[in-house]
Amino acid sequence: MTIALVAFWIALGAVVLTTALATSLRAFGALTAARRERYRAEISEPLAAFAVGAVDDPPPPPAGRFEQRVLHEELARLAPHLKGDARAQLTGLFERYGLVESVARDLRSEHPLTAIRAAELAGIMHASECVPTLRERLDGDPLVRLACARALAEIGAADAMPQIVAALAESGTATELGHTLMSFGPRAEPVLREQLRSAPTDAQRRIAASTLGEIHAHAAVADLVDALGDRDTELRAAAARALGQIGEQSAGTALVALLVAAGGGRDVACAAAATALGMLDDPAGAAALVIALAAGDWDVRNAAARSLVALGDRGLAEVATRIDGLPSAAIAHFAGMLDVADRLGPVIARAAAGDPAMDRIARAACACGVRSRLRELATGGDEDVSGYANALLHEGSHT
Residue 42 confidence class, pLDDT cut points 50, 70, 90? confident
| Structure confidence by residue, pLDDT tens digits, 336-369 | 999 999 999 999 999 999 999 999 999 999 999 8
Q: Which residue in 36, 41, 107 sits closest to 69, CA to CA?
A: 36
Is 90 exceeded by the pLDDT of residue 305? yes
Give 133: exposed, middle or buried? Use CB within 10 Å, 0-12, 13-18, 19+.
buried
Residue 137 φ then ψ, to 5°: -80, 5
Sequence-ordered list of residues with C-beta below 8 angstroms from that of 366, at least 6 positions apart, any chain: 374, 392, 393, 395, 396
| Structure confidence by residue, pLDDT tens digits, 257-291 | 888 876 656 678 999 999 999 998 888 889 999 99
Residues 197 and 192: their CA atoms lie apart, in Å, by 9
What type of residue is 25? L
Segment holding 258, helix H or strand E: helix 252-262
* Terminal alpha carbon distance of the chain: 106
Q: SS3 helix, strand, coil % of the chain, rounded to 5? A: 80, 0, 20
Residue 341 φ then ψ, to 5°: -80, 5
At 30 the pLDDT is: 66
Percent of the chain with pLDDT over 90: 33
Residue 175 confidence class, pLDDT cut points 50, 70, 90? confident
Query: Is there a contact between 264 and 294 (Cβ–Cβ < 8 Å)?
Result: yes
E strand residue ranges, 208-363: none
Is 80 exceeded by the pLDDT of residue 114? yes
What type of residue is 112? P
Q: What angle do CA 210, 212, 218 make, to 5 degrees?
A: 140
Residues 214 and 155: their CA atoms lie apart, in Å, by 20
At 171 the pLDDT is: 62
Residues 226 and 314: their CA atoms lie apart, in Å, by 28
Q: Is the dihedral of CA 100, 106, 108, 114 positive or negative?
A: negative
Residues 140 and 119: their CA atoms lie apart, in Å, by 14
At 347 the pLDDT is: 94
Overall average pLDDT of the 384-392 stretch? 89
